[in-house]
Structure 1
Amino acid sequence: MTASTNPPGLTVGENTVVTVEFWISSTDGEALDDSGGPVSFLHRGHDSLLPRLDDGLEGQEPGFEQTFHLEPADAFGDYDTDLLRVEERSRFPEPLEVGMRFEGVPGQGDGDGPVVTVADDDDEPDENALIFVVTDLTEDKVVLDANHPFAGMALRVRIKLLAVRPADPEEIEQGYADEEDESDEVLDAMIEIRRQSDTLH
């Protein structure tokens, strides 16, 4: 949907689907990530942005553009050392590489075998599971981190509002927008952080 198809006078608010582009950078201007093109979501829905960004979009019309400064508490949270783990490499499948993702909490099962599973983007995540990323390897040890890569960082997020439309009744009921062929890892990460944390207000 493009800005030209917006109902006249419609602004971002309850029961609207919002289309934006956004760019994330560090406070010193280093580009970290972006939306990779337009992404759409139900405003304040399950697929929405961080609450601080939702607040900034409230009441705005297409064409609105602004850069928001987010402290860690408003972004991806503080870095949690409890989410950093060192495990025996023998508990993991081979081949093993830095960047591989595992679901669960390694090292808390019975027996000698691995107690984590390879995270598959096509699988529904376990609500109680965390995603651990392999950050370092030695011959016998594996370092895993379940913190978001931007945890503990203050960020600047530039948002350009492209379109606003009324949400369909089905979208309101399910809590997220139905937008085909739109898949964005950064937006997915924001959604995951909202699901796992109660600190983002």
Structure 2
Amino acid sequence: MAQAKAGDTVQVHYTGRKTDGTVFDSSSGRSPLQFKVGSGMVIRGFDEGVKGMAIGEARTVHIPVEDAYGPSNQDMIFEFDRSMIPDDIELEVGLTLHMHQDGNPQDLPVVVRNVTATSVTLDANHPLAGEDLIFDIELVGINPGK
């Protein structure tokens, strides 16, 4: 029976959880996730977790921070003067905003971490940075690489 290896395009169903059991993403009710193994399309730990799986096989993969979204980077946390944020935006902790960067056509998603009368703290780290992750993965298809 064929097993997933680098270069293969695979289709998987998955559920991703934090170590406290909180589900942050799932393919349930959607088409399977498709990606090329070893191409960097998914986090390293997920990619490695699929290798060696056969169609129909399910496994649970525990992914440490280093193989997930990495540690939270303090250089990606910024404090701004409150007056720099438009008044029509109601700021609350946990709100995701999109910052425009000069010279970059894509906006950078940032999460509001703290709000005071005079300042706003924004975090540009991936929302799952600093987290160990757990994925339940079921391999549903393999298209062999060339």
**Fold-level similarity (TM above 0.5):** yes
Structure 1 residue 58 corresponds to structure 2 residue 36: no
> What are the within-5 Å matches in structure 2 for residues 43-54 of structure 1?
43-47=37-41, 49-54=42-47
Number of residue pairs matched by the alignment: 140
1: CA distance between counterparts of 2:36 and 2:82?
42
Shift >6 Å, 4+ stretches: none
User: Is the contact between residue 102 and residue 133 of structure 1 (CA under 8 Å) also seen in structure 2?
Assistant: no
Residue in structure 1 matched with residue 63 of structure 2 by the alignment: 70
User: Is the contact between residue 97 and residue 109 of structure 2 (CA under 8 Å) also seen in structure 1?
Assistant: no
Residue in structure 1 matched with residue 98 of structure 2 by the alignment: 101
Aligned residue among 49, 74, 79 for 2:72: 79
> What are the within-5 Å matches in structure 2 for residues 44-193 of structure 1?
44-47=38-41, 49-96=42-89, 97=91, 98-104=95-101, 125=106, 131-166=109-144
1: CA distance between counterparts of 2:43 and 2:124?
19
Structure 1 residue 42 corresponds to structure 2 residue 39: no
Structure that is richer in strand per residue? 2
Shift of residue 46 of structure 1?
4.1
Q: Structure 2, unaligned stretches of length 5 or more?
A: none
**Distance change in 2, residues 1:44/1:83 (3 Å):** same
Q: Structure 1, unaligned stretches of length 5 or more?
A: 1-8, 105-114, 118-123, 170-201
TM-score by length of 1: 0.59
Shift of residue 103 of structure 1?
4.0
TM-score by length of 2: 0.77
1: CA distance between counterparts of 2:112 and 2:103?
12
**Distance change in 2, residues 1:24/1:165 (3 Å):** same
Give the alignment's Cα RMSD to 1 decimal. Answer: 2.7
